[in-house]
Amino acid sequence: MLICKVIKPLVSTNRIPDFEHKHLQVVLDGSTQKVAVDAVGCIPGDWVICVGSSAAREAAGSKSYPSDLTIVGIIDHWDPDAGKAPSPAAPSTPAGGAK
């Protein structure tokens, strides 16, 4: 599973029949943009849980569904910076300079 941020919807009117009327979203996985099938109805700015591979196809509706990334949950509370160590302070130089 991945935690991603929804960036914007992706509109594609010319699709293969297997895509039906599923909504697509552009999500940010770290610094990489990916396209995910939206199975839960999220909006831009939401933090979401995504699954890939065969789990993505099944979550989108069928094992034969052509998806390799599907949004399966919207995260209620997520602080992506929580738990990160603060940046170390710049080393201080003694007054008058180092000798």
- Is there a domain that residue 99 lies in? no
Q: Is residue 96 part of a domain?
A: no
- The tally of domains found in the chain comes to 1
In the prediction, which pLDDT does 79 show?
Answer: 84
Cβ contact 52:60 at 8 Å: no
Question: Any idea what the CATH number is for the domain that residue 30 is in?
Answer: 2.40.50.220
- 61 compared with 37, residue with greater pLDDT: 37
- Give me 79's structure tokens: 């602080």
For 24, the 3-state DSSP assignment is strand
Percent of the chain whose pLDDT exceeds 70? 85
* 50 part of a folded domain: yes
Q: What is the pLDDT of residues 12-60, one digit of tens each?
A: 887 777 677 788 999 999 899 999 999 999 999 999 999 988 888 888 7
Provide the token pair at 56: 């993505």
- Domain residues for 8? 2-12+20-74
Q: In angstroms, how far is the first alpha carbon of the chain from the final one?
A: 54
Whether residue 97 is contained in a domain is answered as: no
Q: How many residues does the chain have?
A: 99
| Residue range 58-64: mean pLDDT, rounded | 77
